[in-house]
Amino acid sequence: MLEPTRAFKNRLGLWGWLGGGRWGYERYLYTLHRLTGLGLLAYFLLHIVVTSSRAISPERWNSAMASVSGPLFTIGEYLVFVAFAFHAINGVRLAIIELGWGVGAPIEPVYPYRTSVDVQRPLAIVALLLAGVLVVLGGLSFFVLGQR
Applying CB under 8 A, the residues found at the interface with other proteins are 5, 7-8, 34, 37-38, 40-41, 44-45, 48-49, 51-52, 54-58, 61-62, 65, 77, 81, 84, 88, 91-92, 95, 98, 137-138, 140-142, 145-148
C-alpha 134/C-alpha 40 separation (Å) is 17
Rounded least distance, CB 94 to other proteins, Å: 9
Nearer to other proteins, 28 or 118 (CB): 28
User: Which lies closer to other proteins via its Cβ, residue 62 or residue 115?
Assistant: 62
Nearer to other proteins, 110 or 145 (CB): 145
| Among the listed residues 29, 27, 139, the one whose alpha carbon sits nearest the alpha carbon of residue 89 | 29
Q: Which is nearer to other proteins, 101 or 114 (CB)?
A: 101
Q: Shortest gap between Cβ of 88 and other proteins (angstroms)?
A: 6
Give residue 80's identity as a one-letter amino acid code.
V
Shortest Å, Cβ 6 to other proteins: 8
Between CA 42 and CA 30 the distance in angstroms is: 19
Task: Return the number of other C-beta atoms located less than 10 Å from residue 67's C-beta.
Answer: 11
CA distances from 8 to 5, 11, 12, 16, 23 (A): 9, 9, 11, 12, 19
